[in-house]
Amino acid sequence: MVSRVIPVDPFDLVIFGGTGDLARRKILPGLFRRFCSGQIEDDVRIIGAARSDMDTEGYRQFAQQAIEEFNEGRTCDHGEDQTSSRDAFLSKLHYVKLDALGEEGWPALKELARPGRIRAYYFSVAPRLFGPLAEKLQTTDMVDDQARIVVEKPFGRDLASAQELNKALAKHFAEEQIYRIDHYLGKETVQNLMAIRFGNMLFEPLWNSQYVDHIQITVAEEVGIGTRGDYYDRSGAMRDMMQNHLMQLLCLIAMEPPAKFHPDAVRDEKLKVIRALDPVRADDVVRGQYEGNGERPGYISPLFCAPACACAIGPAKSPWCSRTRPIRSLPKTPGGTPTF
Ligand SMILES: NC(=O)c1ccc[n+]([C@@H]2O[C@H](COP(=O)([O-])OP(=O)(O)OC[C@H]3O[C@@H](n4cnc5c(N)ncnc54)[C@H](OP(=O)(O)O)[C@@H]3O)[C@@H](O)[C@H]2O)c1
């Protein structure tokens, strides 16, 4: 499917945590691709903000390396040579040394992120900084009706912490100004699901309980645990993969067609699916751990502990299907994908 380029109004974007892993691997290379698609106008500022000692020139070099490393050789569409497009993009970048929990850097940020235009604040930082950042933006008078914030999943660790985060953000931003992002939904295959289901005359009439016996959703991860032991200890397969990515996939697969292709309408249809599910009981879930070998670090080791999960989710009242839908998150091991 060829993606449509939606024109956007001029904006200034602040990436809090602009020197972090997410900014380096996803946000900066992704923004460059948007620039290549003609979606970022000339008069746009992209401002990285973090505590690291860096200036704007250093940040542009950081971004250039990130683009080279993670842009998978994609070039700009306009027939221009890649270097000049990249330099044009880099010239939009700025850096502010700033502490989310202190006073340093905020006046400089206020000067760069211009009022009167859309100011978007990407919270690419640990969730414990979401509340303090939202508050600081408010007290430094950088929030108006046009401002919006973007927060990445994982959104808290459990229901109570997610509710706490919601409360902290809602103190300073209206619900329409808060964008909770799951970058998994940007994957092409996931984006294509809606087109396949609702726009394809071959599949559309068959995608229902009369013709589909049951559905299995499997995520077999390419990458091993690598250095992500801490991530698996704090979030991991069940709290992150299942709860975020796989539930979103389940919704896209099982939901009714939305009345219009509008974010709220899509969200409403997804919510209906979630409300129709039986609560997951402990004995619906199988959890496993993998031993490493010489090639890859293991999950059962003194440092790392990363359960893989399989769990059967059945809809209580879904009009769509009465069959159980197993969803699984299975890190690939050298010996192949295990079965439960
Ligand atoms: N990495 C991914 O692929 C990924 C995927 C999905 C979701 N996420 C989520 O996205 C968030 C960021 O992840 P990450 O992997 O980029 O983490 P990270 O590599 O640890 O980066 C954290 C960033 O926050 C900055 N920071 C920390 N304390 C700060 C403070 N007091 N004031 C200002 N800046 C501060 C750090 O820079 P300084 O140390 O220079 O201040 C750094 O730029 C996390 O919530 C994570 O769970 C990450």
Q: What is the CATH number of the domain that holds 15?
A: 3.40.50.720
72: pLDDT strictly greater than 90: no
Within a domain: residue 89?
yes
Distance 50 CA to ligand 1 centre (A): 9
> Is the bond preceding residue 154 a cis peptide, omega within 30 degrees?
yes
CA pair distance 163, 170, nearest whole angstrom: 10
300: pLDDT strictly greater than 80: no
183 a catalytic residue: no
Q: Is the CB–ligand 1 distance for residue 51 below 6 Å?
A: yes
pLDDT number for residue 287: 72
DSSP string, 96-124: EE--TTSSTTHHHHHHHS-TTSEEEEEE-
Q: Is the CB–ligand 1 distance for residue 100 below 6 Å?
A: yes
Domain shared by 143 and 200, yes or no = no
142: pLDDT strictly greater than 70: yes
Six token digits for residue 127: 């969730």
**Ligand 1 atom nearest to 127, measured from its CA:** 45
User: How remote is the C-alpha of 219 from its chain's centroid?
Assistant: 16
Domain shared by 249 and 105, yes or no = no
CA pair distance 180, 46, nearest whole angstrom: 20
How many domains, the chain?
2
**Ligand 1 atom nearest to 98, measured from its CA:** 33
Domain shared by 168 and 296, yes or no = no
Domain shared by 153 and 27, yes or no = yes
Within a domain: residue 283?
yes
The catalytically annotated residue of 94, 172, 214, 245 is: 245
Q: Is the CB–ligand 1 distance for residue 143 below 6 Å?
A: no
**Ligand 1 atom nearest to 126, measured from its CA:** 45
Within a domain: residue 339?
no
247: pLDDT strictly greater than 60: yes
Q: Note whether 165 and 131 are within 8 A (CB).
A: yes
Q: Which domain holds residue 125?
A: 11-181
Average pLDDT (137-147) is 96
Please say which residue of 181, 210, 236 terminates a domain. 181
Domain shared by 176 and 208, yes or no = no
Please say which residue of 181, 209, 244 terminates a domain. 181
pLDDT number for residue 316: 43
Within a domain: residue 139?
yes
Within a domain: residue 2?
no
Domain shared by 244 and 230, yes or no = yes
Average pLDDT (245-256) is 89
What's the pLDDT band for 8 if we cut at 50, 70, 90?
confident
What's the pLDDT band for 304 if we cut at 50, 70, 90?
very low
Domain shared by 267 and 164, yes or no = no
Q: Is the CB–ligand 1 distance for residue 12 below 6 Å?
A: no
Domain shared by 23 and 166, yes or no = yes
Please say which residue of 128, 150, 181 terminates a domain. 181
Domain shared by 210 and 299, yes or no = yes
Per residue in 211-229, pLDDT (tens digit) is 888 888 887 766 666 666 6
Q: Is the CB–ligand 1 distance for residue 257 below 6 Å?
A: no
Q: What is the pTM of this model?
A: 0.82
Which range among 247-251, 290-294, 302-306 shows the weakest confidence by mean pLDDT?
Answer: 302-306
User: What contacts 131, CB < 8 A, 6 or more positions away?
Assistant: 165, 168, 169
Domain shared by 201 and 153, yes or no = no
Which residue of 53, 125, 244 sits with most ligand 1 atoms within 8 Å of its CB, as the best mutation to test the pocket?
125
Which range among 70-79, 81-90, 273-282 shows the weakest confidence by mean pLDDT?
Answer: 70-79
Q: Note whether 285 and 310 are within 8 A (CB).
A: yes
Which range among 145-149, 225-229, 250-254 shows the weakest confidence by mean pLDDT?
Answer: 225-229
| More reliable by pLDDT, 225 or 165 | 165
CA pair distance 205, 100, nearest whole angstrom: 52
Mean pLDDT of the residues in the chain:
82
Which residue of 15, 22, 47, 152 sits with most ligand 1 atoms within 8 Å of its CB, as the best mutation to test the pocket?
22
Q: Is the CB–ligand 1 distance for residue 81 below 6 Å?
A: no
